Every structure is written in structure tokens, then in C-alpha cells.
Chains A and B, each alone.
Chain A
Amino acid sequence: MLQHCRKLALAGLAALAITTAQAADTVKVGVSISATGPAASLGIPTKQVIDILPDTLGGLPAQYIVLDDATDASTAAKNGRRFVDEGVDVIIGSNTVPTSLALSAIAVETKTPQLGLSLAAPRPEHLTWVFSLPQTVDVMNSKLFADMKKRGVKRLAFIGFTGGYGDVWLHDIEPRAKRDGIELVSVQRYERTDQSVAGQVLRILAAKPDAVFIGGSGTPGVLPMRELKARGFKGLIYQNHGMANNDVLRLAGDQANGMILPTGPVLVAEGLPDDHPSKPVALAFLKLYEGKYGPGSRDNFAGYAYDAYLLLDKAVQQARQSAKPGTAEFRQALRDALENTKELAVTHGVINMSPTQHAGFDQRAAVMITVENGRWKVLD
């Protein structure tokens, strides 16, 4: 028994020695993602990217601690606490607005920089420590509404998920439509799991819109489009970049043809003009990602995760000159370096951060695309 205890103690010491050896100068990154639950389709590609990232950041060894938050805000908060206990230098995640917000509160409290992967831009009260990767709804919708104006849309109808995701889009579309002189003739909501949207579509058709915007994401966003077409709707169908994945094409088949949506450039890297700053970065990323997960596996959320890596790689290079990883000074230096990011070309566009702008993409991060014969096609 004593022998056994001694063995255990020795093993424990050895383990401790390994951890301390690792801790010296290792940048620890806490990654909380929604790999299960309703947002699993966003979290899984994120995780797949983390798995293939190089094991250095800015020339220092890097250690990723990846935890699943099951698309649940309180689990995300628990993950955040664990990251703090592990002494991480930076937090990446999570994929949805509520889970990201839960992490933001902890990031601000413990003065740890956070790179969010959700659609919402950081809130003013979190702005100091929180940065966000995905294009904001504002960036995407400016592009989308420019397209609507070009095509002469006067009457727009909206159908989106009940709850957070639909709200994010609707709250941006309502004032924007008013400003652009487009009448929002019908607002309908549905659930991700609904089997039918016949009632909502009837209401939309009765309002006689020129175009319908669908605020859903992934394969459940196909249902309204299918129903609209089945009921003979001949107008334009606008989708959002939450629909830009290959499962949507697989499920919608012919009915996806002609839908118009904004997306990050990474999805259509091959079709970008040669002078687009993201083209070489995106092509390099796609080679890495699709090389591992198969052709056609590309996904916007995989791109965000990789962009978070590119952003961190650059910032750590700068921060390591003034402090050592694992210290409060390093986190402060890292935050400052992130905020000073200028003209960094990543797979989704070009990032410019400033003290007031922590979601750093501009119009170069949005590309209007459509579907032609079951394939994505750049419109511009």
C-alpha cells in the first residue's frame, strides 16, 4: 500500500514537472465552442480548425484547451471559469451570441482578451477586452441592401427563427429598410424544428413582396425557401451567410438556384478577383483545411477560427517583447497588440482594429454570391 502511494506521488511529481516545463513561455489559449446542441453545425468546423493549427503562436509554443459548451450559456460560463483557473492568456469563442456574452463577462472581470466567434459585435461595456471575428450584421446587410437597391426592391418580407438569431437580423433590417425607402411588408417567425411554414408563407404571399429575406441558418433555413417556391413565389430570395454551407446546397438541391446571399470571401476564394487581399490567405487555408477534411468541406465558421489564429499569431509576436505568457502584463500587452491590428489580411477580409472598433472587418469582408447549378457563384 505504501509502495503504491509512493508510486502515485512520484507520478504526480513527474506530471507536475512536465506541466511546469510546458508552462514556461507557453501561450495558453482557452477555446470554448458549441460542438453539440443547436449550434453544432457552427462549432464542429471551428473545432476541426483548432485540431490542425500549428503548435506555435508568434514564435512561442502554444497550448489549446478546447471545451464544448453545448450551445448553453451557463456551460460556457463554467468553461470560462475553468480557463481562468488554468491561467489562459486568451479566450477564443464561442459560436453563438448568448454563449459568447457569458464568456465576455468573465473576460472583462479577469482582464483576459477574448476573440468572439459570434455574429454580434462586442457590447460597449465589454469593449476593452472583447474582440469579435465574424462580419457584423451591419457589414453584411450594407452589402445586401445595396444589392436590393440595385435590383429595385421596394417591398421586402422577413421570415426568421424565433429567438436570438432571427432577432439579430430583424433588428438591423427594420431601421435599414426605413432608411433605404424599402417597405417591410410582412414579418414572420418560425422554429428551427418546424415541419411546416405554410401559414407564414401564406401571409408573406398575401403581402405581395418583391423580395423575401430569410433569417435562418443552416439546413433549417431551407424550409421557407422551399415552401415559397412550392407556392409559386417568383420574387427574389435573400439569405444570410449562416446559410453558406454545403449541407444547405445538398438539402435544397435545385431550389437553391438563384438565392442571393452575402458571405465571407473564404467560401468562394477561387472566384475572387486576383487583387483581393484575402485571396492568397484564403487559398492557403482551404488547401490546409480541405486537404484534411475533404474537398467541399469549406465553411465560414472554419474561416473565423483560422482568422482568430492569424490575428493571435501577429499579436503574440508583438506582446512577447514586453512580457511573459501567463502574466497579467502579457494579457494587457496582448490586448493592446490586438487593438493595434492594422490592415491584416485574413481569410475573411482585412482586419483593422481601433479603440472604438473591435469587430474589425469592412466591406472587403463581404461578397455577394448566388447559387448556379448547385454551386456557389460570385455575383459582383
Chain B
Amino acid sequence: MDWQIAGFLAVDGFTSGAIYALLALALVLVFSVTRIILVPLGELMVYAGVTLALLGHDRVPATGALLLAMGVACFALELWEARRGTTPRRLALAAVKFLALPLALLLITRWAAPRALPLPLDMALTTLLIVPMGPMLYRIVFQPMAEASTLVLLIVSVATHFALTGLGLVMFGPEGWSAAPLWDASFDLAGVPLSGQSLAIWASSLLLMLALYLFFSRTLPGKALRAVAVNRLGARLIGVGSAQAGRLTFTLATAIVTACGMLAAPLTALTYDGGFVIALKGFIGAIIGGLVGYPLAAAGALLVGLLEAFASFWASSYKEVIVFTLVLPVLLWRSLASHGRHHDDEEEE
């Protein structure tokens, strides 16, 4: 292997690594605030990628109808809770949020899909269609059981993953979809070919991470989320509701994976069941970061991407084995480290 091949593989590894990193960030974000390991993030990513691809092929994506269906379910839940008394204003607000807006989006999608709109408009429409699914998913599935144990939340999360995969098959069919590249260019960096799409992926990932950093360090909602992550009860005492925090977290996480899906869609054919494995690699990155630290999770995900690229060159049959085995020494080291710490605690007591 000469340096040119190494450079080529590094470019490839950083490209998929950047996508895994975004997924890892979304996973850490959701876990730290709500204690949910959000397995269906991969499906939401595929929904976004395929929606963009379908709009690019001038077809109507079924995700518009799904959004409306989810909205109706949310509204029904609101009505159910309104038994115990509510204000007309609150109900009207819910009707606008869960019925009127999704319906409007559905109509816009129907109108826009057959027209060959420029890529940025397709991307904007995709974002509007997919991002609200996050908080709606939280409202329907997780909010009613927010106080359940981490294990129960995980089981429900896995069930949601299967449900969304099945819906994906119904909406998109069994075969894969691929979108047009964001930036169809090619550069030569000292003999190593560099595609515009890779650059677009790196730039968008960096921008998103920077935005996330600013959100958490500079804005009030960001600080509130951090408060919930540190101490749920304490945060509630000072007026940060956990349902509110959950919805906001799901919105953010879905926005991140929507970007992921739109960035990954030009790379390969996204199939209805392909999101899980991609999200799993992000999860490994997050595990390396201990599911708490954002920079560590992103670094871990980049490591997964690099390892994957080099493994596919050296031993392609064992690529997945190599990547997923990485989690073993990390878990061992982490559990040993935490075991030592517990030991110290006990001695102090």
C-alpha cells in the first residue's frame, strides 16, 4: 500500500466517518436528555434520503401522507388528554400543529413533486417533511412512558425501529433509491481524487457540529437541555419540563439525521432496511465516547469510518467483523475503569 492508496482510503473513511459522527451525536443527544437509545434514527435517516431521491425523480414521496397520519395520531392523543380539561386555545393550537400544517405540507408535496424543482428546494421540502416526525414520534411513543426504565425504553425503541422499517418497505418498496450529488465536481489533491460530495459532507458535518456547540453553550433552550441531561429532577424544579425537553431533543436529533440522510443519499442506494446498520456504526462511535461526550463520540465515529475503509481494502470479507469487534475492547476498558471507580467509592464510604 503506497501513500496514494492510503490517502484515498482516508478520504473514503472520513466521508463515511463524518456521517457516522453526525449519527453518533444525535444518539448521544437523545440518550443524555431522555435516556432513550434511539434505534429508529437509522430509519428516519433513510426516510430523509429516499424522500429527497424521490423528489429528484419527480415522484410523490409517501412520507407526506405518513406525516399527516402521525399528526392525526398526535391530535387524537391531545384530545384524549383534553378529557381532564383544556383551553380552546390549546386545542386550536394542536389542530394547527398536528392537522393543518401536515396537511398543507402534504398538498405542497403533491404539487411540487411532479415539477422538477431545483435541488435546494427539494432539500428544504424534505427537511420540512421529516423533521416534524421526530417530535411526533416522541409524542406518540415515548412521552406517555417517559418515566419508564432505560431497558423498557430500549425495548420500545427497538419495536419502533421495526415498525418504521416495515412502513419504509410499504412506502418505498424493496429496492434502493439514490439522489443526485449536492456538488458534482472532482478535484485532485496530490494524486488523490476528491469528490465534491465528500467535501460537501465534511463541510455540512462541521457546520452542524458548530451549530450544535453554539446552541448548547449560548442559547437558553440549549442550556435547559443540558440541565435536564445533568439532573432531570433538578431541571423540573426550576421549570424545565421533561416532555418539553424530550420534544426539543427529538426535533434536534431528527434534524441532524435528516441532514445525514440527504448527505448519504447520493453515495449509495438507500434501501428501506439499510438505515439500521449505518446507525449501528454511529452507535459504536457513541459507545467509544461512552454515550456522554460529544467530541469523543464524534472522534469514535470517525475512527469507525477509517477502520471500515482500511478493513475493506485489506480484508473485505471480515470488514464488519473488524468494525463491530472494536466495541469489545472499548467496553472492557470502560467497565474496568468504572469498576475501579466504584471500588474507590465503596472504600470512601
Contacts and interface: CB of A to CB of B under 8 A. Distances in A.
B174 A194 contact: no
Given A44-B174, A191-B319, A199 B269 contact: no
B175 A245 contact: yes
Contact of A203 (B16, B169, B313): B313
A38 interface: yes
A191 B277 contact: yes
A44 B268 CA distance: 23
Interface string B264-294: 1001110111101110000000000000000
A218 B173 CA distance: 12
A199 B9 contact: yes
Nearest to B186: A230
Interface stretch (A99-107, A219-227, A282-290, A355-363): A219-227
Contact of B312 (A193, A199, A219, A220): A199
B15 interface: yes
Contacts of B320: 162, 191
B317 A198 contact: no
A379 interface: no
Contacts of A251: 175-178, 269
A40 B8 CA distance: 35
Contact of B267 (A196, A219, A220): A196
B125 to A, nearest CB: 21
A197 B312 contact: yes
Interface string A185-219: 00011111111111110110000000000000011
Given A200-B313, A218-B174, A251-B176, A195 B169 contact: no
A296 interface: no
Contacts of A38: 273
A195 B305 CA distance: 11
A262 B57 CA distance: 29
Interface residues of A, number: 33
Contacts of A220: 176, 268-269, 271
Interface string B110-133: 000000000000000000000000
* Chain B, interface residues (CB within 8 Å), range: 35 or more
B316 A195 contact: no
Nearest to A191: B320
Interface string B307-321: 001111110110110
B175 A37 contact: no
A379 B298 CA distance: 50
A190 B268 CA distance: 13
Nearest to B272: A40
Given A218-B175, A247-B175, A195 B268 contact: yes
B9 A202 contact: yes
A96 interface: no
A229 to B, nearest CB: 13
Nearest to B53: A251
B166 interface: yes
Contacts of B313: 199-200, 202-203
B175 A219 contact: yes
A239 interface: no
A110 B274 CA distance: 37
Contacts of B169: 36, 40
A356 to B, nearest CB: 34
Nearest to A245: B175
A135 interface: no
Nearest to B274: A193
A141 interface: no
Contact of A193 (B19, B277, B317): B277
A46 to B, nearest CB: 12
B91 interface: no
Contacts of B312: 190, 194, 196-200
B319 A196 contact: no
A41 B177 CA distance: 13
B5 interface: yes
B264 A195 contact: yes
18 contacts: A36-B166, A41-B174, A44-B173, A193-B273, A194-B312, A196-B312, A198-B8, A198-B309, A199-B12, A199-B312, A199-B314, A219-B178, A220-B269, A245-B175, A251-B176, A251-B177, A251-B178, A251-B269
Interface of B: 5, 8-9, 12, 15-16, 19, 57, 166, 169, 173-178, 264, 267-269, 271-274, 276-278, 309-314, 316-317, 319-320
Give the 4 A-B CB pairs with smallest separation, nearest first: A199-B312, A199-B313, A40-B174, A219-B176
